[in-house]
Amino acid sequence: PPVASRAQDIASERVFVDVPLTFGKDRRVFLGKESIPLDVLPERVRQLMLNRSDKQVFLRIDGRLNVQHQMDVFDELKAGGVSDVGIVTDAPK
């Protein structure tokens, strides 16, 4: 069945937080296309979620970062009121 267009609509509404390898050095994440310090993330996510019925955030974390880094980002998202965090693992190229 043709579900591609609907899938794209849903995907375009998703909130992505990207955690690049450089996070280990500078503690910065990407909210959409914007690079922000981790400590700003809760407030920015809180603002984003105000008008959304879907409170899920999708997290893409560089696989070379350690678990503590991942937990730090999780904690900040929770602090921003995000109850549902989806992990997106990049498929091998």
Predicted confidence (pLDDT) per residue in 26-66, tens digit: 999 999 999 999 999 999 999 999 878 888 999 999 999 99
pLDDT band at 8; cut points 50, 70, 90? very low
pTM (predicted TM-score)? 0.79
65: DSSP letter: S
For residues 16, 17, 21, 27, the Cα torsion angle rounded to the nearest 10 degrees is 160
Question: Any residues with CB less than 8 A from the CB of 21 and at least 6 apart, and which?
Answer: 62, 64, 65
For the chain, give the percent of residues with pLDDT over 70.
Answer: 83
Averaged pLDDT, 67-86: 94
Interatomic CA distance for residues 46 and 11, integer angstroms: 20
pLDDT band at 5; cut points 50, 70, 90? low
